[in-house]
Structure formats: structure tokens, C-alpha cells
Amino acid sequence: MEQADRPLIAHRRLFLTEIIVNTISRAPAAAPTAATPSWTAFLQAKVRAWIAAYVTWRTEQAAMQQLGRMSDHDLRDIGLTRSEITHAVIHGAARDRGRRRTR
């Protein structure tokens, strides 16, 4: 390598280093919440899940009360017996098994 080329190579390295440093310094920082959710987001998710579970439970309780007030004849018309009310409401058994034939 010749003596005349050394200052040119050093200048190019310095120029490339400056470009890299400028690029890195201008890049936006990664959002810390993207990798790990904050405790408030976690708490909000838990509260939403609890509310959804409570609403589901209340809806099931109301359905069981309403079915419990029906006569055995009416329950038989919709394909249920009194002992199947809880299972049918919670698991949707009457909907899944189709209609039951009665005599």
C-alpha cells in the first residue's frame, strides 16, 4: 500500500463511522411496552377477564332460573329434563346434541 493512499483510507473509515453513528443515533428507540406489558395493562386485562366471567355467570344463573320455572312438559318440548338444566346451560348440551324425539 502506498503512503498516498493511507490518508484516503483513513478518511473513508472516518466517513463511514460517522454515517453509522448518525444512523444509529437517529433510529427510534424500541418501545419498552412492546416486549413486556406494563402492570397497568396486565391489571386491565385481568379486570376485563373477571368482568366477562361475572357476566357469563350471571347470564347462566338467570337462564337456569328461567328454565327451572318451566313445567316438565315445556322442558320436554325443548328436549330437556329437569336434571339436565344445569349441564345444558353451562355446556350447551341441548344445542349440541340436536333435538330429542319425545312420544
pTM of the model: 0.51
Q: pLDDT, tens digit, for every residue of 7-66?
A: 666 666 776 677 666 666 666 666 655 556 788 989 999 999 999 999 999 999 999 999
pLDDT at residue number 91: 84
Per-residue buried b or exposed e for 46-80, using 16+ beta carbons within 10 Å of the residue's own CB: eeeeeeeeeeeeeeeeeeeeebeeeeeeebeeebb
pLDDT at residue number 51: 94
CB 85 within 8 A of CB 67: yes
